[in-house]
Amino acid sequence: MILYNTLGQKKSEFIPHTEGKVNMYTCGPTVYHYAHIGNLRTYIMEDVLEKYLRYSGYDVTRVMNITDVGHLTSDADTGDDKMLEGAKREHKSVMEIAKFYTDAFFEDCKKLNIKTPDVVEPATNCIDDFINMVSALIDKGYAYFAGGNVYFDTSKLDNYYVFGNMNADDLEVGVREDVDSDENKRNKTDFVLWFTKSKFEDQALKWDSPWGVGYPGWHIECSSISIKHLGEYLDIHCGGVDNAFPHHTNEIAQSEAFLGHKWCNYWFHVLHLNDNTGKMSKSKGEFLTVSLLESKGYNPLVYRMFCLQSHYRKPLTFSYESLDNTAKAYDKLVKRISSLKNDGEVDKAKSEELDGKFREALDNDLNTSLGLTAVYDVLKAETNDATKRYVIEKFDEVLGLDLTKAEAEEASDLDSEIEELIAKRQQARADRNWAEADKIRDDLLARNIKLIDTPEGVKWKKIN
């Protein structure tokens, strides 16, 4: 498989450290709020990568952290504690917030057919591991204690800007925006490994450490959790492109200083989801979540397909109009597949030939849009329906779109929802609540469902 590697900024053949095995690490969510669909784009594409590696025969172990110790609203060591903000907002404890939004995250993942990683490790489980790693970094001369905090000394590295796509100028911008720049740092790029002093007095979760009561910096989480579960050699580290700097840059700095050798060979970064105005932000306009899409009548898998239609290394522009187009395409595709008959033996030779096209697409830096084209090619292929269905079922192990089972489920869900609304409307009419009855009829009409009053009762049909 050819993969683009942010480290070196070019495509190359993927070769794991140990033949046949892939160690994969994913930066998990900070669980202080619902996940934005922009973040979920990253998890969808990582899921496809993992599933395709398995499809290709690799034995994959994937680990993800859950950031449940407060990390800061800015990715630099400044800003407010996100977890604490969430707790204040909702009048809950930090651990209640963490539990609630961890569950919410995995519910979203389930709806999007994102497989749960083999190991999911909350940061609060690993405080001793973080302390051990920070101690080792001090012993090796890569970290120093100043003003109550432990910092990583980036001047000890030969090359701090490992990805090459960031430089000191980019950092200047960040520093300028940061009014409270940290006087204790020896170098601008140094970052905190352990805090005992910070801007906020009321940090909720604190632990004892050799440097005083405090809490870990964010970056140490991922290095430590990855090494704990996947050992000294990591094959693929994934994340959103936002994380490349400073988060992943700092992960590499501390991991390689700690291990004394190269740590991770491939860095897989997924580009942003934008709206027409540019980058989507959580603070502007409508906060887009899976539940919001569902409340507007979208099947979450339509959003998954929307993501698969474009390449992970290109920014993707979101609009309801494009999502509607995907919804139509998805419905049509699922209908076509569900009409495939069970007409005999699977043609093995033909199925291998069709599979070859699919692999060719995904082997080329995970080209999922061509992977989807391969599904249409199967439908057009000259072979029997049983072969087509068999091949599409295989592809769907990677695509995760429920291509061979979606329609039946959806239809029955829709049926029962409409029947319920019709019953509600009948009750409203019996109560002479005409406004409510009309509203239900109009809402359904807006979803292209027309109600027909007949002597035998209310019937409905789909219109276009």
Shortest distance, CB of residue 322 to Zn ion, whole angstroms?
30
Radius of gyration of the chain (CA): 25
Shortest distance, CB of residue 243 to Zn ion, whole angstroms?
6
Q: 3-class SS at 279?
A: strand
Distance CA 11, CA 338 (A): 38
Q: Terminal CA-to-CA distance of the chain, rounded, Å? A: 43
> Between β-strands 273-275 and 278-279, what pairing exists: parallel, antiparallel or unpaired?
antiparallel
Could you say whether residue 421 binds Zn ion (CB under 5 A)?
no
Chain centre to alpha carbon of residue 2: 22
> Between β-strands 278-279 and 119-122, what pairing exists: parallel, antiparallel or unpaired?
unpaired
Shortest distance, CB of residue 152 to Zn ion, whole angstroms?
15
Distance CA 46, CA 266 (A): 13
Which has the closest alpha carbon to 338: 399, 294, 379?
Answer: 379
Shortest distance, CB of residue 312 to Zn ion, whole angstroms?
18
**Pick 106 or 145: Cβ nearer Zn ion:** 106
Q: DSSP H helical segments within 61-167, as ranges?
A: 82-90, 94-111, 127-139
Could you say whether residue 428 binds Zn ion (CB under 5 A)?
no
Which has the closest alpha carbon to 319: 334, 306, 335?
Answer: 306
**Pick 63 or 222: Cβ nearer Zn ion:** 222
Q: How many CB atoms lie within 10 A of CB 368?
A: 23
HSE value, Cβ hemisphere, 13 Å, CA-based, for 398: 27
Binding map of Zn ion across residues 308-337, x = CB under 5 A, - = no contact: ------------------------------
Number of residues in contact with Zn ion, rule: CB under 5 A?
2
| Stretch in the footprint of Zn ion (CB under 5 A) among 32-40, 83-91, 107-115, 215-223 | 215-223
Considering only residues 264 to 283 of the shown chain, the ones binding Zn ion according to CB under 5 A are: none
**Pick 42 or 310: Cβ nearer Zn ion:** 42
Shortest distance, CB of residue 225 to Zn ion, whole angstroms?
9
**Pick 33 or 304: Cβ nearer Zn ion:** 33
Which has the closest alpha carbon to 247: 217, 276, 203, 273?
Answer: 217
Chain centre to alpha carbon of residue 437: 41
Shortest distance, CB of residue 25 to Zn ion, whole angstroms?
8
**Pick 254 or 384: Cβ nearer Zn ion:** 254
**Pick 45 or 222: Cβ nearer Zn ion:** 222
Shortest distance, CB of residue 239 to Zn ion, whole angstroms?
6
Type of residue at 391: V
Shortest distance, CB of residue 247 to Zn ion, whole angstroms?
5
**Pick 123 or 361: Cβ nearer Zn ion:** 123
Distance CA 61, CA 42 (A): 18
Distance CA 384, CA 348 (A): 11
| Stretch in the footprint of Zn ion (CB under 5 A) among 14-22, 25-33, 197-205, 292-300 | 25-33
| Stretch in the footprint of Zn ion (CB under 5 A) among 5-13, 39-47, 219-227, 412-420 | 219-227
Shortest distance, CB of residue 45 to Zn ion, whole angstroms?
16
Q: 3-class SS at 292?
A: helix
| Stretch in the footprint of Zn ion (CB under 5 A) among 26-34, 129-137, 372-380, 423-431 | 26-34
Q: 3-class SS at 359?
A: helix
**Pick 35 or 222: Cβ nearer Zn ion:** 222
**Pick 145 or 233: Cβ nearer Zn ion:** 233
**Pick 243 or 387: Cβ nearer Zn ion:** 243
Which has the closest alpha carbon to 45: 255, 357, 405, 306?
Answer: 306
**Pick 67 or 198: Cβ nearer Zn ion:** 67
Considering only residues 398 to 417 of the shown chain, the ones binding Zn ion according to CB under 5 A are: none
**Pick 152 or 390: Cβ nearer Zn ion:** 152
Chain centre to alpha carbon of residue 328: 24
Is the distance from CB of 124 to CB of 205 less than 8 angstroms? yes
| Stretch in the footprint of Zn ion (CB under 5 A) among 19-27, 175-183, 350-358, 371-379 | 19-27
Could you say whether residue 222 binds Zn ion (CB under 5 A)?
yes
Binding map of Zn ion across residues 27-56, x = CB under 5 A, - = no contact: x-----------------------------
Shortest distance, CB of residue 65 to Zn ion, whole angstroms?
6
* In 163-203, beta strands by DSSP E: 191-195
Shortest distance, CB of residue 92 to Zn ion, whole angstroms?
25
Contact residues for 6 (Cβ-Cβ < 8 A; gap 6+): 163, 165, 244, 267, 268, 269
Shortest distance, CB of residue 219 to Zn ion, whole angstroms?
7
> Applying CB under 5 A, which residues contact Zn ion?
27, 222
